């Protein structure tokens, strides 16, 4: 059954009439599932928590991980919307999507609090049952990274046979959010070389002093819409950086420097990844402002 068949649209007039007829009390009788369940798909959501052990911490670990996956999906969606707006030259619309993204990242980061109680003894009660499952294998998180400009072809390999593989390969081959931002700066009159504007979007991004100069000029002379765009990008960069920092802290707290479940060296691998800065010239330009 399609979602539009499960949830019947209504109107202001119908809602007012229902409230009048019921004396202001909520509707309590439905022929089938409640409209809320039909729209949110609560039955599906609450059937997805299937712990592998009776360890009291596993349910927390599983639910928080699934919540993070949903937020990765939301963040990837907003980043895609921001890219569409940038390509169409709608800078304020892009900034709006990025401000929403920053708020979603705040909520995503808050999810870590649900695991702060977990010590190594708690995690070890169910860790072995996870097998080779690792956050490294999250296709939605990888999509977020690719759209932010953090690309590495090797990280496509786990998804060669995955349903998410096609979307990831497209995002890897397309310009990133930062590439689209730089292209907009050029269209708005900033002098940027071909090596920046026509680079291979699959390659790891290398900062360029011309892009840095463009941001210095934006913050010195405007226009205001590009300043707003820069501020929104900075919020996203900070929020994403906070997530990576808290990920490292959570791994350090629950497993120290032990090898990761997915075959990496765990903490050291994550710490190396944090050295890759999102939107680098937006930050380095501040030295010259």
Per-residue model confidence as pLDDT tens digits over 11-52: 999 888 888 888 888 888 888 888 899 999 999 999 999 999
- How many other β-carbons are positioned within 10 Å of the β-carbon of residue 152? 15
What does the buried/exposed string (b/e) look like for 10-42 if buried means 16 or more CB atoms within 10 Å of the residue's CB? eeeeeeeeeeeeeeeeeeeeeeeeeeebbeeee
Per-residue pLDDT, averaged over 262-269, amounts to 67
Model pTM score: 0.92
Q: Is the pLDDT of residue 262 over 70?
A: no
Nearest-5° angle of CA 29, CA 35, CA 36?
115
Q: Is the pLDDT of residue 5 over 80?
A: no
Q: Is the pLDDT of residue 164 over 90?
A: no
Cβ distance 192 to 265 under 8 Å? Answer: no
Cβ distance 67 to 138 under 8 Å? Answer: no
pLDDT digits (tens, 9 = 90+) for 73-121: 999 999 999 999 999 999 999 999 999 999 999 999 999 999 999 999 9
Cβ distance 222 to 231 under 8 Å? Answer: no
Question: Residue 266's pLDDT band (boundaries 50, 70, 90)?
Answer: low
For helices 139-148 and 224-255, angle between their N-to-C axes, nearest 10 degrees: 140
In the structure encoding, which two tokens stand for residue 245, read together? 């920092």
**5 to each of 2, 30, 35, 38, how far by Cα in Å?**
5, 15, 11, 10
pLDDT score at 267? 75
Per-residue pLDDT, averaged over 163-181, amounts to 95
Nearest-5° angle of CA 138, CA 140, CA 143?
115
Q: Is the pLDDT of residue 264 over 70?
A: no
CATH of 58-181+203-288, one of 3.30.70.141, 3.40.50.720, 1.20.58.480, 3.40.50.300: 1.20.58.480
pLDDT score at 127? 92
State how far Cα 266 lies from the chain centre.
21
Question: How confident is the prediction for the chain on average, in pLDDT?
Answer: 92
- What is the Cα–Cα distance from 289 to 231, expressed in whole angstroms? 14
**228 to each of 54, 61, 97, 215, 233, how far by Cα in Å?**
50, 37, 12, 12, 9
Higher-confidence residue of 266 and 106: namely 106
Question: Residue 255's pLDDT band (boundaries 50, 70, 90)?
Answer: confident
247 assigned binding-site residue: yes
Domain boundaries, the chain: 58-181+203-288
Q: How many CA atoms lie within 13 A of 72 on its CB side?
A: 19
pLDDT score at 89? 97
Cβ distance 215 to 282 under 8 Å? Answer: yes
Q: Is the pLDDT of residue 257 over 80?
A: no
Nearest-5° angle of CA 92, CA 93, CA 96?
85
| Phi, psi of 142, rounded to the nearest 5 degrees | -65, -35
| List of residues 6+ apart from 232 with CB closer than 8 A | 94, 95, 96, 98, 99, 102
């Amino acid at each position: 059954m399609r979602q539009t068949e499960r949830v019947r649209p209504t109107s202001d007039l119908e809602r007012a009439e229902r409230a009048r007829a019921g004396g202001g009390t909520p509707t309590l009788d439905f022929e089938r599932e409640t409209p809320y369940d039909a729209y949110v798909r609560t039955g599906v959501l609450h059937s997805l928590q299937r712990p592998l052990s009776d360890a009291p911490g596993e349910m927390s670990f599983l639910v928080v991980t699934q919540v993070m996956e949903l937020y990765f999906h939301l963040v990837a969606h907003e980043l895609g919307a921001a890219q569409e707006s940038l390509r169409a030259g709608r800078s304020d619309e892009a900034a709006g999507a990025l401000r929403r993204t920053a708020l979603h990242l705040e909520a995503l980061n808050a999810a870590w609090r649900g695991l702060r109680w977990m010590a190594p003894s708690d995690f070890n009660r169910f860790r072995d049952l996870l097998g080779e499952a690792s956050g490294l294998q999250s296709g939605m998180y990888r999509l977020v990274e690719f759209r932010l400009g953090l690309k590495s072809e090797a990280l496509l390999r786990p998804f060669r046979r995955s349903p998410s593989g096609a979307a990831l390969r497209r995002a890897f081959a397309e310009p990133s959010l930062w590439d689209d931002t730089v292209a907009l700066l050029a269209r708005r009159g900033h002098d940027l070389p071909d090596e920046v504007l026509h680079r291979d979007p699959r390659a790891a991004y290398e900062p360029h002093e011309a892009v840095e100069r463009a941001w210095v000029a934006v913050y010195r002379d405007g226009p205001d819409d590009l300043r707003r765009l820069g501020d929104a990008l900075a919020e996203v960069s900070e929020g994403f950086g906070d997530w990576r920092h808290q990920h490292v802290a959570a791994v350090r707290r629950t497993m120290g420097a032990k090898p990761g479940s997915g075959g990496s060296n765990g903490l050291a691998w994550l710490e190396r990844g944090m050295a890759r800065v999102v939107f680098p010239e937006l930050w380095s330009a501040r030295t010259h402002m």
